[in-house]
Structure 1
Amino acid sequence: MTNEARWLDEGEQIAWRHYLRASRALSLALDRELLDHGMSLAEYEILSMLSEADGRRLRMGALADLVVQSRSRITHTATRLQRRGWVERESCSSDSRGVELVLTDGGYEALLQAAPVHVESVRRHFVDTMPREQLQVVGDGMRRVHEEMGGR
């Protein structure tokens, strides 16, 4: 194994810096607009994943993997959501050691209220900024990066 770095060429460096700035700015914008409506982007993503799951429930570990967050961060966010009555924790029926996060009716209603705000924000700050073909290329590229890092 060599210790010599494979430095980025000018084009790679430019692309990387554009990605960093844009991804951070996008996350901040999406978070800010959801916060104006009572939830963070991280909270929205968790509620959204739960709403799409069978029985509106997921094991905490599986949820952490889906939203690419640490288990401790999921636990903290789940506690905030539970205080609002948007989720409940239940023992996993298939494994008594496991814990599932369950979306409540109140949480589903909160998600439904926030969804139009989030979708419009995603459209305005991301989808509508580029032609559909370019959007497809960006999506395919980010899927590949995620898969290479062990994501599903």
Structure 2
Amino acid sequence: MDIAALIAWVVTALGGFYMLGVWLSHGGARGGTSHLPVPVVFGHFALAAVGLVVWIVYVITDKDALAWTAFALLLPVALLGFVMLARWIPVHRDRAAELGGAGQNAPAERHFPVPVVAGHGLAAVVTLVLVLLTALGMGE
């Protein structure tokens, strides 16, 4: 199950990297009209990256403390992800309401493709569950 969690985590990270790239390329880090606070975005990214490294070390060493550490790191990652999702939904609804699409002054996160957002979230939930089940010793 630890390898399945690793695969799910990498898939989640790929979606996250894509959205981070879209957000940065549309000026998200410069503030402007983005509804996603820069510290939240980079905090989510940093904690997830550290957690992934911890999980890789766990897979190599099979030390239970590392599995629990990775799970503990995922909790604030998930919380920050929900914060960003809650702030993204109104931006997405505004885009859907506009017939002309995103304008020049549109928030950077308006350019996130819905399938990528949904896939990232689904993969994140799968990752969290698999990491928890692994830490609990299930699937050994």
| TM-score past 0.5 threshold | no
> Which has more helix, going by share of residues?
2
Q: TM-score, normalised by structure 1?
A: 0.30
* Bigger RCO of structures 1 and 2 (CA < 8 A, at least 6 apart): 2
Structure 1 or 2, whichever has the larger Rg, is: 1
Q: TM-score, normalised by structure 2?
A: 0.32
